[in-house]
Amino acid sequence: MLSLLETLINGLLLGALYALFGIGLSLSLGVMRMINIAHGDLIVLGAYLSSVIVLNTDLDPLSSLLIVIPMMFVIGWLLQKLLFNRVMGRDPLSPLLLTFGLSIVIQNLLQELFSADTRSLPAGDLALQGIELGGVNIGVLPLISAGISVLAFLFVAHLINRSPIGSAVRAVADDQETARLVGVNDRRLFAYMAGFVLVTVAVASVLYGMRTPFSPTAGPERLIYSFEAVVLGGLGNLWGTFFGGLIIGVAQLLGARIDTGLGPFFGHLVFLVVLIARPEGLFKAGRA
Amino acid sequence: MLRVEQLSAYYGLFQALFEVDLRVDEGECMALIGANGAGKSTLLRSLVGAVKVSADSVQFDGEAVGGASERKQLKRGITLVPEGRRLFPSLSVRENIELAQRHGRPGRWDTELLFQELPALAEVQNRPATALSGGQQQLVAISRALVTNPRLLLCDEVSLGLSPYAVDEVYRLLNMARQDGMSVVLVEQNVQRALAEADRFYCVQKGRVVLDGVAAEADHHAVANAYFGV
Ligand SMILES: Nc1ncnc2c1ncn2[C@@H]1O[C@H](COP(=O)(O)OP(=O)(O)O)[C@@H](O)[C@H]1O
Ligand SMILES: [Mg+2]
């Protein structure tokens, strides 16, 4: 019983991290109406950037974020400015094809630079530390990750629902053409959003890299987890993405109890079942 | 202040406007009359940059400004109240208006002044904009344009589907703006009303201007012919 509770809690903590993967995807889908197929590869790219910094300086992975975050922001901003803005607003297929190409380019680039070997980010003592709560053992690192994820969601929700930038973002999501009529600079907004999306990606990638090894081809798997969280929660629903992530995390760890290899499969299974039962996702789309 | 010369507009290969010529003078109200599909909305959308046209075809204060972005036209003082209101459903009434104000020009019109003039809107300012009645939504749509402090306000079917009382409210607001010297272009299904409100008029038929004149002197028979394309 206690071990089931432990699995549940660990599932939630893992799921919070998947939710953090999904936050960026949720924003680009909900606001820019664009699916970035390279999302997972950018997560892996973030982990490699951190790894390079950790190997060449005496920063640990978490402090490497001080450098990785601004780098990823610039990469996101540039990608949007130079590539994505060119194909947006046409047919939905163009961004799909473009980011699919980008995904392949990033994978090959990482393979060229870092070989196909798996790596992980050294978590140091953090990986071993745990706290005991009524007989249930909870890792400190997953706890920190989940805390950061919750903070990220609170921050984004506040930004979208309460700030002037947020009302411009919601206006563009509602009706891009009319948003332009009232003077919103949609392309500049998209560029900053893409930068911000990669900031969340940077944080998620380092936290995940500290607990799960990665290789240049690990991107698609991460894309799938993010995508599942977003779709499960209902497109365009920010907190839906959060709970979608939690569900995938719990499903994976419960599945892994049955058979260690079956974890991700159970995540997909839950995703599939929910999608058949409620094609629009668990939560109502709309207000973030 | 506005001069349209030989303006042609296209949607892909389809030509919606053919060498349109017209002008709007400082402080004047111009009515644009024509049947559905004549090209009135396309003309207004060309003026604000939502439909791309050649630079020379739109001259504002003698400057060729055709094809400039919506943002540039807004900064020059050309603002459109789009057909169908197009309020942002995820934004409250106040957010809808404030968003436009932030991106518009500085000036007399701001959110607080509007709420003062339209107390009924002030009461529902925190509700989602599309939860209001049609008449109130239209007032929000016009407010959203007024707070950008335009010099030329383009109104596309602002009284369509409204109750007579709501129509009067809409025109009361527009006349307040006109008293500040704002120039107005009216696209209006109700030809009588349009001619009553306007100084001059143009009739558009299948993308061409077929008749124009002083509103007070308009021959209603000729206007009806131009409207129905007889
Ligand atoms: N987005 C569009 N794409 C293609 N054709 C359009 C579009 N908008 C309008 N049209 C066509 O352009 C013509 C003029 O339309 P419009 O300017 O909306 O007329 P009006 O406002 O006078 O009713 C019509 O034939 C209409 O079908
Ligand atoms: Mg129209």
Q: What is the pLDDT of residues B173-195, one digit of tens each?
A: 999 999 999 999 999 988 999 99
CB B138 within 8 A of CB B120: no
Q: How long, in residues, is chain B?
A: 230
Q: Which ligand number lies closest to the CA of residue B37? A: 1
The whole-number pLDDT of residue A285 equals 59
pLDDT band at B38 (very low <50, low <70, confident <90, very high): very high
Question: What predicted TM-score, i.e. pTM, was given to this entire model?
Answer: 0.90
Relative to the CA of B157, which ligand 1 atom is closest? 21
**Is A239 domain-assigned?**
yes
Break chain B down into helix, strand, coil percent, rounded to 5. Answer: 40, 25, 35
Three-state SS for A60? coil
The whole-number pLDDT of residue B230 equals 58
CB contact (8 A) between residue A183 and residue B100: yes
The whole-number pLDDT of residue A288 equals 45
State the DSSP H helix or E strand holding residue A30, giving kind and residue range, or none if neither. Answer: helix A2-30
Between A and B, how many residue pairs show a Cβ–Cβ distance under 8 A? 61
By most ligand atoms within 8 Å of CB, the mutation choice from B14, B86, B203, B228 for ligand 1 is: B14
Distance CA(A44)–CA(B85), nearest Å, equals 45
**Is A122 domain-assigned?**
yes
Distance CA(A237)–CA(A232), nearest Å, equals 10
Low-confidence ranges of chain A (pLDDT < 50): 287-288
Q: Cα-flanking dihedrals φ and ψ of residue B209, to 5°?
A: -80, 125
Token pair in block for residue B122:
């002030």
Give me chain B's average pLDDT, please.
95
Nearest to B86 among A164, A175, A286 (CB): A175
CB contact (8 A) between residue A183 and residue B89: no
Chain B residue numbers with beta carbons less than 8 Å from the beta carbon of A181 are 48, 50, 70, 74, 80, 82, 86
**Is A173 domain-assigned?**
yes
Cβ-in-10-Å burial (0-12, 13-18, 19+) of A63 comes to middle
Q: Which residues contact A276 (CB under 8 A, 6 or more apart)?
A: none
Nearest to B70 among A173, A174, A181 (CB): A181
**Is A256 domain-assigned?**
yes
pLDDT above 70 (res B128): yes
CB A25 within 8 A of CB A36: yes
DSSP conformation class of A84:
I
pLDDT digits (tens, 9 = 90+) for A139-155: 999 999 999 999 999 99
Nearest CA owner, ligand 1 atom 2? B11
The whole-number pLDDT of residue A16 equals 96
Residues with CB under 5 A from ligand 2 (ion): B 41, 83
**Separation of CA A12 and ligand 1 centre (Å):** 52
Dihedral of CA A174/A178/A181/A185: which sign?
positive
**Is A97 domain-assigned?**
yes
- Domains of chain B as residue ranges with CATH: 2-228 (3.40.50.300)
The whole-number pLDDT of residue A287 equals 46
pLDDT digits (tens, 9 = 90+) for B77-127: 999 999 999 999 999 999 999 999 999 999 999 999 999 999 999 999 999
Q: Which residues contact B89 (CB under 8 A, 6 or more apart)?
A: A174, B128, B129, B130
Q: Number of structural domains, chain A?
A: 1
The whole-number pLDDT of residue B221 equals 85
DSSP conformation class of B199:
S
**Is A284 domain-assigned?**
no
Distance CA(A280)–CA(A238), nearest Å, equals 14
Q: Cα-flanking dihedrals φ and ψ of residue A97, to 5°?
A: -65, -45
CB contact (8 A) between residue B71 and residue A179: no
Which residues span the domain enclosing A40?
2-277
The whole-number pLDDT of residue A260 equals 85
Token pair in block for residue B155:
């109104």
Break chain A down into helix, strand, coil percent, rounded to 5. Answer: 75, 5, 20
DSSP conformation class of B102:
H
Instruction: Give me the CATH number covering residue A240.
Output: 1.10.3470
**Separation of CA A159 and ligand 2 centre (Å):** 36
